[in-house]
Amino acid sequence: MKTIGIIGGGQLGLMIAEQAHVLGVRAVALDPAPDAPAFRVCDDHIVAAYNDAEALERLCRMSDAVTYEFENVPGDILIPLSEKYNIPQGYRPLYDSQDRFREKTNARDHGLRTPGFAAVDDEASLRAAVRELGLPAVLKTRTLGYDGHGQMVLRREEDIERALPLLTVPCILEEFIAFDSEASIVMVADREHVVSFPVGRNIHRDGILDLSIVPAAADAEVLGRMKVQSERFMRDCGYEGILAIEYFIRGREIFFNEMAPRPHNSGHYTIEGCTTNQFRELVRYLVGEPLQEPRLVAPTVMKNILGQDLETARQVEREHRPNVYVHLYGKTESRPKRKMGHITFVGMTGDEYEKEWADRFVK
């Protein structure tokens, strides 16, 4: 029986391990938290920091293949491990995604349209970037930002002063795109094929994903173009394994926003909403099994459950409704904006969700 190692023990590691077991594959996770969600389902685990080189090497020795569900694994540790052990995705997609300026440059250089952007390190470079890109614009830290953290929208000149505290670390200023909708695509690639999951429309609240609605309500030509250019980008970059790309859609224009070389929150709907799912195809890739092309089972809505909605989610779980699938991650501490689970509604459109379910959750 093969074993996969997972760097990170959060909910993504949990769901990778669950799908590994479906395929008869063992899973081992490394995480600094003794109560990491993935530890509950993994066959073994290691409690250690992500920069603990000895612990990471032990994980690699225990595994036939290693992946990561945590994006900020230190490169100076992972790169040499990639040369000694089987980390099939390698370090490159992780490296390209860890710095927003590098990520945008890489996307642009490989044919994807991006918002205008400029590197910003101090007040002078921020003011120069504002003159170049205009206002409104979005100032973001180049590294370690997630779920709306580490960014600020600048709408007028007075906002520049207010943004200066963010410049204690390197930043990027991006053109503000007045988009019609946000969308994402998840792909898994081996050396022979790229399979991609149906594009979903994403709705965020306070910078955190709230809903994914599949299929995305957008022009079929636009969605087809997004699929083609995303698969070509993955091939042109030489990426294998899993990759999610988020886009802005404005009319018939598509703008690259960001990418993640790991399972993606917007792809959780695939567990019940598709004939196979993002986690299972990642495991297939890791253990060298042929990839399966996914198919959407029915229109599907995925609702993120944050701390403020945890009790409602538990109540929904007790109701045992058909085609309503409640996933709670088992995190020991609940906080208002912490991701605690998700609910997938299969056979439901976005409009139906708004009529039947939206009022049950915190607005």
Q: How confident is the model at residue 128 (pLDDT cuts 50, 70, 90)?
A: very high
Share of the chain above pLDDT 90, in %: 94
Quote the domain boundaries for residue 35. 3-87
CATH of the domain at 284: 3.30.470.20
Residue at which a domain ends, from 135, 152, 175? 175
Domain membership of residue 205 (yes or no) is yes
Domain membership of residue 106 (yes or no) is no
Location of structure tokens 């699929």: 227
CATH of the domain at 47: 3.40.50.20
158 and 210 share a domain? Answer: no
Location of structure tokens 């860890």: 98
Domain membership of residue 289 (yes or no) is yes
203 and 170 share a domain? Answer: no
Which amino acid is it at 80? P
Mean of the pLDDT values across residues 66-82?
Answer: 89
Backbone angles phi, psi at 109, to 5 degrees: -70, -20
pLDDT of 226: 98
Is the pLDDT confidence value at 148 over 80?
no
Distance of alpha carbon 26 from alpha carbon 34, whole angstroms: 20
231 and 310 share a domain? Answer: yes
189 and 273 share a domain? Answer: yes
pLDDT of 76: 82
pLDDT of 145: 65
237 and 351 share a domain? Answer: yes
Is the pLDDT confidence value at 363 over 90?
no
Residue at which a domain ends, from 43, 72, 87? 87
Q: What is the pLDDT of residues 287-316, one digit of tens each?
A: 999 999 999 999 999 999 999 999 999 999
68 and 127 share a domain? Answer: no
Mean of the pLDDT values across residues 151-170?
Answer: 94
Is the pLDDT confidence value at 49 over 60?
yes
For the chain, how many structural domains are there in total? 3
Q: Which residue has the higher pLDDT, 337 or 249?
A: 249
> For residue 206, with 0-12 CB atoms within 10 Å meaning exposed, 13-18 middle and 19 or more buried, which class applies?
exposed
152 and 301 share a domain? Answer: no
Question: What angle do the packed helices 53-62 and 75-84 form, to 10 degrees?
Answer: 30
195 and 253 share a domain? Answer: yes
141 and 191 share a domain? Answer: no
Mean of the pLDDT values across residues 182-202?
Answer: 97
Domain membership of residue 20 (yes or no) is yes
The alpha helices in the chain, defined as continuous H runs, are: 11-22, 53-62, 75-84, 92-97, 100-109, 123-133, 158-163, 220-237, 270-273, 278-287, 310-319, 350-356
CATH of the domain at 142: 3.30.1490.20
Name, in order, each residue with C-beta under 8 angstroms of 169's C-beta and a sequence gap of 6 or more: 141, 142, 143
Q: What is the pLDDT of residues 248-272, one digit of tens each?
A: 999 999 999 999 999 999 999 999 9
Range 22-55 burial, b when 16+ CB lie within 10 A, else e? eeebbbbbbbbeeebbbbebbbebbbbebebeeb
Domain membership of residue 111 (yes or no) is no
| CA geometry: angle 145, 107, 70, nearest 5 deg | 35
Mean of the pLDDT values across residues 145-152?
Answer: 71
Residue at which a domain ends, from 68, 87, 106? 87
Domain membership of residue 7 (yes or no) is yes
pLDDT of 77: 87
Domain membership of residue 279 (yes or no) is yes
18 and 122 share a domain? Answer: no
80 and 124 share a domain? Answer: no
Domain membership of residue 110 (yes or no) is no
pLDDT of 191: 95
126 and 189 share a domain? Answer: no
Question: Which of 120, 4, 10, 126 lies closest to 72 in space, CA to CA?
Answer: 10
Is the pLDDT confidence value at 242 over 80?
yes
pLDDT of 75: 79
Instruction: Give the three-state DSSP class for 233.
Output: helix
pLDDT of 193: 94
Q: How many CB atoms lie within 10 A of CB 299?
A: 19
